[in-house]
A and B are shown apart, each in its own frame.
Chain A
Amino acid sequence: MSFDKAKNNPEKKPGRLVENVLCMVLLLMLGIFLMIQIREGISMQEQLSASKQKHEAYQLQLNDLKSENDRLKEKNTLLSEQKDQLSENVLNEQGYSELAASLADIRELAGLTVVEGSGVTITLSDSTITDPSDSNQSSLIHSQDVQYIVDLLKSAGATAIAINGERIVCTTSIICTGPTIRVNNSRYPVPFVIMAVCDKNITYDILQNDPHILLRISEGVEIAFKKNDSLTIPAFSDSTVINSLSKELGGDKPS
């Protein structure tokens, strides 16, 4: 009906032509947009799947290496203990029992032996609440927090300390590396578990009443203390570090 009207009314023809052209342009543009979106989507999907694959492959390799590392460390500790025992046997056998005792003391002082005893365990974790206005990231545990507790434990008379199983020795530095901290060349994410063989009651009181720790707790980080009747602090066993230090500082070996 309207078509007939339009046919009969030539003045309306240009208006419809414009309408059709506009409609065509609109559809064309929509088509172009659709095509762009689809292409972008495909390309993003490809990129995502590539980075996901790469990421997963590295994560898998990392997990394998970590379990291999644990196994090697365990074997290393076992072999070191065997070697120490044999050294003692050799010295005692050859009548050097004093030397054997002295060697044991030196190794203990250096942190090269396993230490067992009562003490405390401190666990440090980031705050579970993230505050976007917290520009200083005070709700996160930093290497300085771990260092502070280690220094505090030393002041309290600890005889052996370990962070996530890493024994604190004379060369140990605690360094922040992104979301992890590096202790004795190994990196650890939160939570950080610090174990110390010490007087558990005195140390527990010192930790609980320390103003800096109380401040950090009030800032949201989680710091938990626990008294332990029996703790085992592993020995430092990285002979590369020991050899390198003796090479740099030792000069000539004694005869």
Chain B
Amino acid sequence: MKRKMSLSSGAIIVFFVFGLLIALQLKNINTSNLQAYYAKQDLTELQDQVMTLMRENSELSNQNQILSDLIASMGDELSGDNKSLQTIMDEKFKAEIFAGLTDVSGSGLQVVMEPGTDISVKASRLLLLVNELRSSGALAISVNDARIVAMTEIRDTGTANPQIVINGNSYPATSQFVIRAIYKKDDINRGLQLVNNLIEQLQTVSIITVSPSDTISISKLSEDSLTNRQI
């Protein structure tokens, strides 16, 4: 009888401990899932975001300070000397460059795209190339001497006689397209690498060649172009 009792209590203890172990294991799994969730959130990503915002806020504060000073000096000199006028001319000069209204030159890349196995060059492929050049840090881009600005459209038109419209002007899609991009010297290799990756992707449909150059010239946005006239 006593042995039976001791066996029973032994079994109770064993099962109790066993149950405890299972409960603990389940709790640990839950904790580990939560840990995995926090790991997935990636702390470095958050840290990066914090750093970027800190930098951006500091730049914005500086900009705001400069703007406030400028406004104060302009207010003082509203009916005074030419200092304000000079500031405005500097401003205009910067805005012209940003709008693509000045001829620019420098080192960069020249990319030539030909139809290849396709009958004609497609706007989507030109867009892919232009967007890639822009992502890699191109400062100014032109396609067949048409300056690419903020609202430049590149689209297909016509079926019997396919054309590509850029800034409102049509270019025969069966001809070659010359894309020029000016870069900071340090960014040229990045641009070259990205374009080469794209060439690999498109090699079955288009013939694309790329060459770096120290003397890339890009014309300003034509005054007659639709993009310019829209304003």
- Chain A contact residues, CB within 8 Å of chain B: 1-3, 23, 26-27, 30-31, 33-34, 37-38, 40-41, 44-45, 47-48, 51-52, 54-55, 58-59, 61-62, 65-66, 68-69, 72-73, 75-76, 79-80, 82-83, 86-87, 89-91, 93-94, 96, 99, 102-103, 105-112, 147, 151, 154-161, 168-175, 178, 185-187, 237-240, 242-243, 245-246, 248-250, 253-254
A151 contact set on B, CB distance < 8 A: 127, 131, 153-154
CB within 8 Å for A27 and B97 given contacts A178-B45, A239-B66: no
Kindly identify which residue among B41, B95, B106 contacts A106, using a CB–CB cutoff of 8 Å. Answer: B95
- Chain B contact residues, CB within 8 Å of chain A: 1-4, 10, 13-14, 17-18, 20-21, 24-25, 27-28, 31-32, 34-35, 38-39, 41, 43, 45-47, 49-50, 52-54, 56-57, 59-61, 63-64, 66-68, 70-71, 74-75, 77-79, 84-85, 88-102, 104, 106, 127, 131, 134-135, 139-140, 148-155, 182, 184, 221, 228, 230-231
CB within 8 Å for A154 and B95 given contacts A48-B38, A58-B46, A65-B54: no
Of all chain A residues, which has the CB nearest B100?
A: A170
| A112 pairs with B98, CB closer than 8 A | yes
Docked complex Cα distance between A102 and B100 (Å): 14
Of all chain A residues, which has the CB nearest B141?
A: A170
Docked complex Cα distance between A105 and B155 (Å): 25
| B97 pairs with A76, CB closer than 8 A | no
Q: Report A135 CB to chain B, min CB distance, Å.
A: 19
| B1 pairs with A2, CB closer than 8 A | yes
CB within 8 Å for A170 and B98 given contacts A44-B32, A109-B231, A159-B151: yes
Kindly identify which residue among B43, B53, B66 contacts A66, using a CB–CB cutoff of 8 Å. Answer: B53
Docked complex Cα distance between A27 and B95 (Å): 82
B127 contact set on A, CB distance < 8 A: 151
